[in-house]
Amino acid sequence: MKLRLLAGVSALVAVAGLSACSSGSDDTESAGGGKTAIDVWLMRDSVSAAFQKDFEKGFEADHPDIDVRIQIQEWDGIGEKVTAALASNDAPDVIETGNTQVAQFAQSGGLLDLSDKVAELGGKDWLKGLAEPGAYEGKQYGIPYYAANRVVIYRKDLFAQAGVDATAIKTRDQWIAATKKLNKGSQQGIYLPGQNWYTYAGFVWDEGGDLAVESGGTWKGALDSPQALRATAFYKRLQALGKGPKDSDEAQPPQAEVMAKGKVAQVISTPGGANVVAQNNPALKGKLGFFPIPGKTADTPGAVFTGGSDLVIPTVARHQDAAFTFVKELTGDTWQRKLAAAMSYVPNKTTLAGAVAADPGASAMAVGAAVGHATPNTPGWAAVEAKNPIKDYLTAVLTGGDPEKEGVKASDVITSAMKSGS
């Protein structure tokens, strides 16, 4: 799964209503037999070849008048490719897009407003971290597809040696106490790189804050808010219980490789990180477990950044009725359960969390996803990630900078970036 944002989407075609666009749009193509052929772009690793085959077979059996043509797209360069498609007269009928990308495409008028379809699609149960970024200015353009988020990956053997029961860790205070017990000698209680800003964002949301806030149509950075400062204090305490670098993120060096090489009791990662650890150190196979990031209180898990995808229909799509049928099926309960089992993703509805109950990593994700968030829902946020002042802010604080002063500086950069990127 890639968690990406796009920069600079040019002005595209104006939005048209579903009924207005579709009245003559489902003309048959060369699929044969009077079928309507629809083109669908799904992203690499969104589905396996086996799932794709099963879905196409099942969908076309239930909808014999529609021929589905799925094309797997690569993440690299997809922003420019989608932008060009939306501006053309030959766009695919359905496109998978990162959940945080929807606002930029919607702002430019390239996506179909599906607000009147939310109830039909079971929108009341959607994960907020997928549904909220799929909306823009009060209208729903992106339909939640699947989610993935960070959990704690831990060494079962090291926890047992320290007498720590991972299942009993439900609160931040319990997490800190357990990590202190695990942090001894050459063993790191946790490996937390200083610039792991997605994890930090979760702590900000736990405190009731956000990375940026909107007031009167203007977005401003909010790392100097009381809520963000409380989150910073907790992040600093947790990060100090290991030897993670203060000036780099989880990719430099790859934290899974660090965990594989040494006595690291915990990392914060998507569950797939455990596979990388075991690949680098086969002796750890079967010794890794998962639990949700703890919250401030035992009754609410820690907030997480919800990554994943939404499905959108371009305004210029020629077969919007058939496209909606495809979206309804793939995001419906039956195929969501099958997708979760096949791909270890979190289904798009809180009511479907049981679909991953047998998968330790995915079930831990599902707990966090129920209270997940996305980055500020504004097209200007892409410019913030390009500059990434949050990483610089965390490094500054972890190396002795005053949190409030550094927070003001970082917030100013965020504000300026959002203005330039809108």
Is residue 98 domain-resident?
Answer: yes
pLDDT confidence of residue 31: 55
Q: Which of 331, 347, 369 is the endpoint of a domain?
A: 369
Return d(Cα 368, Cα 201) in angstroms, integer.
13
Residue from 265, 223, 258 nearest 241 by CA = 265
Is residue 85 domain-resident?
Answer: yes
32 Rama class: left (phi>0) / alpha (psi -120 to 50) / beta: left
The SS3 assignment for 245 reads: coil
Same-domain pairing of 138 and 186: no
Is residue 5 domain-resident?
Answer: no
The whole domain housing 71 covers 18-147+307-369
Number of domains in the chain: 2
Q: Which of 369, 398, 413 is the endpoint of a domain?
A: 369
pLDDT confidence of residue 89: 86
**Contact in structure between 147 and 365 (CB atoms under 8 Å):** yes
| Structure-token match 């991953």, residue found | 356
| DSSP per position, 358-381 | T-HHHHHHHHHHTT-B-S-SSTTH
Is residue 166 domain-resident?
Answer: yes
- CATH number, domain of 337, equals 3.40.190.10
Same-domain pairing of 325 and 224: no
Cα pseudo-dihedral 126, 129, 135, 137, rounded to 10: 130
pLDDT in tens, 120-175: 999 999 999 999 999 999 999 999 999 999 999 999 999 999 999 999 999 999 99
Collect the ranges in the chain with pLDDT lower than 50.
1-28
Which amino acid would we find at residue 247? D
Is residue 208 domain-resident?
Answer: yes
Return d(Cα 141, Cα 314) in angstroms, integer.
9
pLDDT in tens, 396-416: 999 999 999 999 999 999 999
Same-domain pairing of 385 and 365: no
Same-domain pairing of 162 and 81: no
Same-domain pairing of 232 and 315: no
Same-domain pairing of 253 and 312: no
The tokens describing 93, both together, are: 């009928």
Is residue 195 domain-resident?
Answer: yes
pLDDT confidence of residue 77: 87
Is beta strand 135-136 parallel, antiparallel or unpaired with respect to 94-98?
unpaired
Same-domain pairing of 181 and 61: no
pLDDT confidence of residue 262: 85
Return d(Cα 1, Cα 148) in angstroms, integer.
8
What average pLDDT does the structure give for the chain?
A: 92
Residue from 366, 324, 404 nearest 17 by CA = 324
pLDDT confidence of residue 58: 98
pTM of the model: 0.89
Span between the terminal Cα atoms of the chain, in Å = 26
Same-domain pairing of 28 and 125: yes
Is residue 6 domain-resident?
Answer: no
Backbone angles phi, psi at 297, to 5 degrees: -125, 160
pLDDT confidence of residue 47: 96
Return d(Cα 226, Cα 204) in angstroms, integer.
10
Tell me the sheet residues that pair with 154.
266, 289
